[in-house]
Amino acid sequence: MKEIVLDTETTGISIKDGHRIVEIGCIELENLIPTNKKFHCYLNPERKVSEKAFEIHGYTDEFLAVQKKFVDVSEEFLNFIEGKKLIIHNAEFDIAHLNNELSILGKKNIKNEIVDTLTLARDKYPGMSVSLDSLCKKFRIDNSRRVKHTALIDCDLLAKVYINLIDQKEPTLDFKNYEKEINLSEKQIVSYFKKVVSPTPSEIENHKNYLKNYLKKNYFN
């Protein structure tokens, strides 16, 4: 089963205030394993980034002004997520912004099946902080790269959080598919070399004298 872990960054919170998307990140999973297929883009929102949003993701108006517009990437994005379950943290926010962008272009709303990991976490851990950072801490997921909110890093972390939330161990590769037979010879001979040190005549004589002097019986007469 293929799923898409998705995250967006925006100019601000509410679409009612005219806020737009500035970044979309998607990572594809197949049976909970990343397939290395990704969709990522920065977007020109055609408006200024709010001060609070800038504090969150750090994208400046100057940087975003030279990026593509949503109209330029919409078809590629829709093709990437087509027919796949979407895994989103606080899905209401991201879907509202994505549908707003689509409506501006006269396109239909997203109809994909959606799993909101925020809701999953709230149901599973009532009363606990369920931010992405808090969940990473709970599941001992290294989020040290998350200095700012960026879509692809957040997707990578969310994929690991999602696996823990649904009580699945993080998958590992099936190495049986990648095993190579290593033919070893039936007999492997390893030679160990010892350096034999023989005592000198004077050392033998000294040893005899030692035995004569310190042992009750003399075996060297």
In the chain, how long is the greatest CA-to-CA distance?
Answer: 116
Residue 102 backbone zone (phi > 0: left; psi -120 to 50: alpha; other: beta): alpha
Specify if 180 maps to a domain: no
**Number of domains composing the chain:** 1
Q: In the structure encoding, which two tokens stand for residue 79, read together?
A: 């093709």
The answer as to whether 101 is a domain residue is: yes
Q: How confident is the model at residue 143 (pLDDT cuts 50, 70, 90)?
A: confident
Asked whether residue 196 is domain-assigned, the answer is: no
pTM higher than 0.85 = no
Catalytic residue among 19, 89, 97, 149, which?
Answer: 149
Instruction: Report the CATH number at residue 11.
Output: 3.30.420.10
pLDDT in tens, 66-95: 999 999 999 999 999 999 999 999 999 999
pLDDT of residue 172: 43
* Residue 59 CA to its chain's centroid (Å): 22
Whether 40 is catalytic is: no
204 within some domain: no
User: Residue 87's CB: how many other CB atoms inside 10 A?
Assistant: 26
The strand pair at 21-30 and 33-42 is best described as: antiparallel
Average pLDDT over residues 147-156: 88
Give the span between the Cα atoms of 62 and 130, in whole angstroms.
33
CA-to-CA separations, 158 to 26, 151, 183, 198, in angstroms, rounded: 11, 10, 42, 70
Alpha carbons within 13 angstroms on the beta-carbon side of residue 165 total 25
Within a domain: 107: yes
What are the phi and psi torsion angles at 156 (to 5°)?
-60, -45
Domain range holding 52? 2-172
- CB contact at 8 A, 6 and 84: no
CA distance 144 to 194: 52
- Asked if residue 167 belongs to a domain, the reply is yes
